[in-house]
Structure 1
Amino acid sequence: MINSFLSKDCTKAAVLFHSKKRILEYISQIAQQKLPDLSEQEILDSLLKREKLGSTGIGKGIAIPHGRLSNIDETVAILVVNAEPIAFDAIDDRPVDIFIALLVPDAQCQTHLKTLSAIADKLKDKQFCKKLRHAQSDQCLYDIMTL
């Protein structure tokens, strides 16, 4: 399911950022390449707007930042694994190193909820998360996530 909206060029292994804001900026930069009609700032604003409602850090070192955008037609996912966990205000107060960001069309709220749920289910598997964390390349990370 996730391979329908996650592409290899939106999958980044072993990056290194030190703050919540910087990782969200990086995610916005990657997403902007897929959404050329939007600016990085518009994408970042949609992610930050959602974070203001409460952290998207779901615990166990995982965050699913997401934003709704009115001027896109399809869901775009970005998978980033940070080399070191960073503070992200997660629900369990643990730092986060796995980020799966979703940008969804405003009109697709129900699909969006199903997608979030499917991703969260996949990430409940500790061994699966361990594989994500140990991926040495973007290609390897993409393969783990989509197989």
Structure 2
Amino acid sequence: MKLANLLSPDCTICAAPGNSKKNILEQISVLAANKISTSSAKELLNDLIDREKLSSTGIGKGIAIPHSKIDNTEQPVAVLITTDKAVDFDAIDNKPVDIFFALFVPEDSCQQHLETLASVAKYFSDKDNSKNVRRCTSADQLYRLVANG
């Protein structure tokens, strides 16, 4: 799935202040709740925290892909946040994270969920893409870069 089909400008933040894993997950949940009318920010946060308890979604190289399956929604929603400084996120390489691409997908879309996670991981595994994301200075620039990538 193309990232442009998932991400929207109002779910993209560049250089957000971030001081903890929970703080970043809270910011993600608030943005997503504005798009997912059937879930509150608190419910989305709890879903993300529960997923993180299974294993960290920090995939290494300063990147995390927090994700959750959501009941009562038909469309996947993505949130992209870069932080002004990297945050400890228990990533697999033990390095702090400054790029967060969160996904919320319908509960019954398991195959779509896996394909979407693979697409996001593939995009950010390209060193040039990650460098360009980190160079962005505005949410609009960040959104256009990733949506067109």
Describe the superposition over 1:87-112 as per-residue Cα deviations: whole angstroms up to 9, x where unpaired.
Answer: 00000000000000000110001100
CA RMSD of aligned residues (A): 0.7
Q: 2:9 matched to 1:22? A: no
Q: Work out the CA distance in 2 between the residues paired with 1:26 and 1:80.
A: 9
Does 2:118 align with 1:138?
Answer: no
- TM-superposition CA deviations, 1:105-140 (whole Å, max 9, x none): 100011000000011011111111111111111110
Q: Give the counterpart letter for 2:110 in structure 1.
A: C
Whole-angstrom distance in 2 between the partners of 1:89 and 1:59? 9
Cα deviation for residue 146 of structure 1 reads 1.1
Post-superposition offset of 1:43: 0.6
Aligned to 1:97: 98
Deviates more, 1:57-66 or 1:36-45: 36-45
> For 1:6-36, what per-residue CA distance to the aligned partner results, in whole angstroms no more than 9, with x for missing partners?
1010011011110000000000000011112
Aligned mates of 2:54, 2:39 — CA distance in 1? 23
Q: Structure 1: which 5+ runs fail to align?
A: none
Query: Alignment partner of 1:140: what SS?
Result: helix
- 1:1-147 equivalences under 5 Å are 1-147=2-148
Specify every segment of 5 or more residues in structure 2 that has no aligned partner in the other structure, as ranges.
none
- Aligned partner of residue 6 in structure 1, secondary structure: coil
Q: Which runs of 4+ in 1 moved over 4 A?
A: none
Normalising by structure 2, we get a TM-score of 0.97
* Percent of residue pairs identical: 46
Give the count of matched residue pairs. Answer: 147
C-alpha separation in 2, matches of 1:46 and 1:73? 17
Per the normalisation by structure 1, the TM-score is 0.98
